[in-house]
Amino acid sequence: MKIQAKQVMLNGQLFQYRETGEVSAPPLICLHALSRNAASWDEVAAVLGQKYRVLSLDQRGHGGSARAGLYSFELMCEDLLLFTDALGIEQFTLLGHSMGGTVSYLFAERYPSRIERLIVEDTPPPYLDTKIEIPPEPSEPLTFDWTVVPSILQQLNEPNPKWWEDLPEILAPTLIIGGGATSHVPQDKLREVCDLIPACELVTIEGAGHDVHSSKLEAFLEVVKKFLKFDEAI
Residues of the chain with pLDDT > 90, as a percent, come to 95
pLDDT given for residue 129 in this prediction = 82
Domain ranges of the chain: 3-227
Beta bridge partners of 96: 31, 120
**What are the residues whose beta carbons fall under 8 Å from the beta carbon of 167, sequence distance 6 or more?**
105, 109, 125, 193, 196, 197
pLDDT at 178 over 90: yes
Average pLDDT value for residue range 130-152: 93
Average pLDDT value for residue range 1-21: 96
When the pLDDT of each residue in the chain is averaged and rounded to a whole number, the result is 96
DSSP per-residue letters across 40-101: GGHHHHHHHTTTSEEEEE--TTBTTS---S---HHHHHHHHHHHHHHTT--SEEEEEETHHH
Q: Class for domain 3-227, per CATH? A: alpha beta
pLDDT band at 233 (very low <50, low <70, confident <90, very high): low
How many angstroms separate the CA atoms of 135 and 149, rounded? 9
Whole-model pTM over 0.95: yes
